[in-house]
């Protein structure tokens, strides 16, 4: 089971991408739990995740969230801008997986 | 060049976003948000334009006064929630007992509040709290008091000046004793401030802060020039892919929210609405038209007039979220971010729209927002009508969309041309590659 957390300002715009990522994960037969939260809940939800992706409009959060994520030994990355804009579930899902490889 | 500016902006944005006080302020206003929505719904319901046709005058008055408490008890005393929220979230950020931090902030604020009303004629009424001091008028004093009391409280707790209970005492009891000394010292500070101000200066902190800080700041914030500057910075930040509102609003919200509460109090009292610029103005006439930059107009323009496959695809994707004012697909997919062709209309259109809306409202063609809170995800036209309690509020938005369309059209056309050329080139390359493939196979 792969657990991916997405965070943006209010969790609303990333929730669109969540749906697409879930669809993609299902289509390749992988079990994944993917959810979106606002920035205020990101730190709290992090402990349940294997990787954290943040919306590009919140890129300035990365260093602060990564500090927190280090405790759980997970990676935080900004979602590729084009993948985010086009709600490209495949690309974003693969980006999340690439963050788990290094663990 | 854009890359360099971006590298410069990201850390600034981060620092503003992560600033403890601004973060606490944001959370405190979020605490008031569901309450203001509740109050707003009843203001809208009791002021529906056709009510005077289905009810007689006395019924309407009674209906309005009975349900009017919904907004008086929420937005009418908004400072209470903001003060408690600041005390709570500030203490939480320092990891000291948060609920006491909130309660202490609230009492500190009340200690500075005169429990007296002086009517214009006749004797003063004592033993009452004037509602307006807990609403818009006390907002800045409330915020300042809450931050100060929160800081004093947590410093004393962190210095360990607390009464420790032996193990075995129930935790709730132990906690209330632990808060005793910090609460006592913090509240004494504010009590003494109040005694000094009332005794020696014959005034109160409410009036001092209101005249020295709140009125000038709020007056400044309600002007069109500062508003246009704020819009300009929001657009520029988004151009670099950063969430403009989160950063700019954390500075402007105290002013915009105060203006909103002032408007609502005037509106529910049946007086003329004093300010055009307020929080709802910013939400409904800049964000509430398809998202930041009024991108719904852009989505329609592309779907109807443009030919590029990539642009059409993004617009289709952006249409449904755009109706609910979420526009990240357009911002990052079109893209708007770091797209030099687009920076001019992106920054210009919202500023023109803000100015035109402001002028239309000051000329009396469109009523200003009444001060009710409309959630920012309510679609365009509906949110305009709800916010102003007038069909003209919605019509204004449609006119604004037209303005956005006119400003953007030539730029979108140029972008379309470039994209079409690129797509054609790709198609040629693909067929060439296929032919190559085929010839190898042969």
**What pLDDT does B439 receive?**
64
**What pLDDT does B167 receive?**
75
Whether residue B220 is preceded by a cis peptide bond, meaning omega within 30 degrees of 0, is no
Q: In which domain, by residue range, is A21 found?
A: 2-99
Please report, for residues B117, B425, B432, B434, B436, the alpha-carbon distance to residue B429 in angstroms, rounded to integers and kept in the order given: 81, 6, 5, 9, 10
Residue pLDDT, tens place only, A35-55: 998 887 888 888 889 999 998
Token pair listed for B166: 């032996």
- CATH classification at residue A7: 3.40.50.2300
Strands B116-117 and B125-126: antiparallel
Closest residue on chain B to A17 (Cα): B329
Contact state of B243 with A9 under an 8 Å Cβ cutoff: yes
Q: Which residues of B386-409 are buried (b: 16+ CB within 10 A; e: fewer)?
A: bbbbbebbbbbbeebbebbbebbb
Neighbour count for residue B119 (Cβ, 10 Å): 8
Which residues partner with A52 through β-bridges? A5, A76
**What pLDDT does B12 receive?**
79
Nearest Cα of chain A lies from the Cα of B99 at a distance, in angstroms, of: 19
- A8's enclosing H/E stretch is strand A2-8
Q: How far apart are CA B110 and CA B423, in angstroms?
A: 66
Contact state of B337 with A61 under an 8 Å Cβ cutoff: no
Number of domains in chain A: 1
Contact state of A86 with B246 under an 8 Å Cβ cutoff: no
pTM for this entry:
0.81
Residue pLDDT, tens place only, A46-81: 888 999 999 888 888 888 888 888 888 899 999 988
Place of tokens 């800080």: B213
**What pLDDT does A103 receive?**
53
Q: How far apart are CA B355 and CA B351, in angstroms?
A: 6
Closest residue on chain B to A83 (Cα): B333
Q: Which of A16, A40, A58 sits opposite B243 (nearest CB)?
A: A58
Q: Could you give the 3-state DSSP secondary structure of residue A78?
A: strand
Token pair listed for B425: 């080139």
**What pLDDT does B354 receive?**
95
Contact state of A60 with B321 under an 8 Å Cβ cutoff: no
Please report, for chain B, the start and end positions of each structural domain, with discontinuous segments joined by +. Answer: 264-439
Annotated catalytic residue: which of A4, A6, A7, A8? A8
Our measurement of the distance from residue A98's CA atom to the centroid of its chain's CA atoms, rounded to an integer in Å, reads: 11
From chain A, the residues in CB contact with B13 under 8 A are 60
From chain B, the residues in CB contact with A8 under 8 A are 328
From chain A, the residues in CB contact with B33 under 8 A are none
Q: How far apart are CA B143 and CA B149, in angstroms?
A: 10
Strands B116-117 and A75-78: unpaired
Nearest Cα of chain A lies from the Cα of B314 at a distance, in angstroms, of: 6
Contact state of A85 with B331 under an 8 Å Cβ cutoff: yes
Place of tokens 């937005």: B75
Contact state of B246 with A13 under an 8 Å Cβ cutoff: no
Helix ranges (H only) for B211-243 are 215-221, 224-239
From chain B, the residues in CB contact with A12 under 8 A are 326, 377
Active site residue A92: no
Instruction: Note whether A93 and A69 are within 8 A (CB).
Output: no
Q: For chain B, list residues with pLDDT below 50.
A: none
């Amino acid at each position: 089971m792969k657990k991916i957390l997405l965070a943006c300002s209010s969790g609303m715009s990333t929730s669109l991408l969540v749906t697409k990522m879930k669809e993609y994960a299902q289509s390749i037969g992988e079990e994944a739990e993917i959810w979106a939260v606002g920035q205020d809940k990101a730190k709290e939800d992090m402990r349940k995740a294997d990787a954290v992706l943040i919306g590009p409009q919140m890129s300035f959060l990365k260093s602060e969230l990564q500090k927190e994520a280090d405790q759980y030994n997970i990676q935080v990355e900004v979602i590729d801008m084009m993948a985010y804009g086009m709600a490209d579930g495949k690309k974003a899902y693969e980006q999340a997986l690439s963050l788990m490889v290094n663990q | 060049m854009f890359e360099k500016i971006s590298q410069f902006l990201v850390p600034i944005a981060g620092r503003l976003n992560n600033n403890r006080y601004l973060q606490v302020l944001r959370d405190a206003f979020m605490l008031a948000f569901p309450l203001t929505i509740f109050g707003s719904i009843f203001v809208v319901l009791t002021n529906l334009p056709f009510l005077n046709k289905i009810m007689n005058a006395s019924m309407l008055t009674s209906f309005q006064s009975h349900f009017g408490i919904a907004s008086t008890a929420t937005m009418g005393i908004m400072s209470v929630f903001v003060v408690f929220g600041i005390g709570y979230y500030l203490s939480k950020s320092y990891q000291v007992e948060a609920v006491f931090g909130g309660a202490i902030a609230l009492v500190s604020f009340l200690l500075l509040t005169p429990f007296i009303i002086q009517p214009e004629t006749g004797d003063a009424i004592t033993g009452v709290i004037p509602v307006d001091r807990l609403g818009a008028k006390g907002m800045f004093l409330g915020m300042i008091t809450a931050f100060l009391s929160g800081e004093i409280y947590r410093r004393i707790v962190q210095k360990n000046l607390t009464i420790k209970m032996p193990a075995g005492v129930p935790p709730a009891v132990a906690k209330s004793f632990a808060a005793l000394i910090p609460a006592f010292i913090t509240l004494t500070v504010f009590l003494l401030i109040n005694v000094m101000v009332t005794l020696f200066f014959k005034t109160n902190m409410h009036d001092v802060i209101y005249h020295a800080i709140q009125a000038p700041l709020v007056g400044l914030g309600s002007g069109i020039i500062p508003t246009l500057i704020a819009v300009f910075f929001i657009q520029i930040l988004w151009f670099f892919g950063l969430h403009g509102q989160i950063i700019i609003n954390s500075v402007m919200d105290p002013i915009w929210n105060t203006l909103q509460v002032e408007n609502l109090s005037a509106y529910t009292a049946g007086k003329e609405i004093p300010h055009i610029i307020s929080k709802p103005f910013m939400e409904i006439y800049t964000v509430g038209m398809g998202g930041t930059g009024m991108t719904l107009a852009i989505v329609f323009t592309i779907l109807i007039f443009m030919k590029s496959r990539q642009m059409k695809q993004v617009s289709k994707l952006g249409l449904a979220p755009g109706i609910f004012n979420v526009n990240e697909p357009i911002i990052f997919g079109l893209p708007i971010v770091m797209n030099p062709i687009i920076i001019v209309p992106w920054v210009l259109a919202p500023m023109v729209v803000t100015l035109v809306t402001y002028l239309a409202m000051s000329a009396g063609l469109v009523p200003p927002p009444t001060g009710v809170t409309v959630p920012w995800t309510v679609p365009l036209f509906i949110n305009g009508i709800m916010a102003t309690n007038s069909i003209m509020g919605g019509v204004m938005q449609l006119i604004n969309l037209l303005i956005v369309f006119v400003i953007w059209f030539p730029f979108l056309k140029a972008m379309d041309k470039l994209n079409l050329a690129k797509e054609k080139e790709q198609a040629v390359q693909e067929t060439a590659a296929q032919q190559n493939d085929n010839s190898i196979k042969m």
